[in-house]
Amino acid sequence: MKTPFQQHELDRMRTDLDNYKWGIFYFNPKDSRIFLPKMQRWMGWTLNFANPYSYLITVGFIGFFIYLQLML
């Protein structure tokens, strides 16, 4: 899905502390991306928790790891 924002606007939203809940969870309903770089790019990627698909991804990862633990 193509975002209507320019790259510099996306970078500004990503680094704005107002778009983070408790300082660690990115939550921006204006940003349509699911995965995006963390505030410090070298630290990896994060999820946009304003996007409902991020919760499905999180539940999927948790379910996968629970499944792995039960199979051992």
1: pLDDT strictly greater than 70: no
Tokens standing for residue 51:
């996007």
Band (72; pLDDT cuts 50, 70, 90): confident
For the whole model, what pTM was predicted?
Answer: 0.81
Q: Could you give the C-alpha distances from 9 to 22, 29, 40, 61, 66, in angstroms and in order?
A: 22, 14, 16, 30, 38
